[in-house]
Structure 1
């Protein structure tokens, strides 16, 4: 058996909040819409990964979700323009990433990062 894909699922009654955060700000495409369940993604090829930690690094809380972007400064500007509070960073970490934390509309801590 081979794991082909891992998907994160979040319960919500307000799917439009997901559209605003993950679609409008992060630029993910709506790949599926059943009316009651939406999936966002991109055509970017990704590896299957699941992470576990006692902390998020640099003494931070373990994020619920980590999203790697190709341009952290643009991502930061989009979140700031949307008045999404930055909870940590932006900071260049000693393990080779630059990142910041935000909370999505559902309270999930999201680590937005770019590898150096």
Structure 2
């Protein structure tokens, strides 16, 4: 047996609020919408990963999600245009990533990063 996919599920009574962050800011496509569930994604091939952590690195809290992008500066500009202020960073970390933390509409801590 092989794991084919890992899906993050975020509980919210306001499913539509996800669009402003996950589609409009991060550029994910709306793949499925049942009203009670909206799934956002990309046609990019991704590795299946699950991280277990005691901290987020550099003394930060463990983020709820880590989202790797191809252009961190553009992601930061989109966040700022949407009045989303980073809680940490942007910073280049000693383990070879540049990243920043923001909160999504559901108050989840999101680590947006690019590998250097």
TM-score band by shorter chain is over 0.9
The C-alpha deviation readout for 1:33-81, integer Å capped at 9, x for no partner, is 1121110000000011000111110000010100000000000000011
The C-alpha deviation readout for 1:85-116, integer Å capped at 9, x for no partner, is 21000000010000000011111100000010
Superposed CA RMSD: 0.6
**TM score, norm. by length of structure 2:** 0.98
**TM score, norm. by length of structure 1:** 0.98
**Number of aligned residues:** 116
- Alignment partners' CA distance in 2, 1:35 and 1:105: 17
- Alignment partners' CA distance in 1, 2:114 and 2:45: 16
Unaligned runs of 5+ in 1: none
1:39 maps to 39
Give every structure 1 segment of 4 or more consecutive aligned residues whose post-TM-superposition deviation is greater than 3 Å. none
2:78 maps to 78
Unaligned runs of 5+ in 2: none
Task: Find the residue that maps to 1:16 and give its secondary structure.
Answer: helix
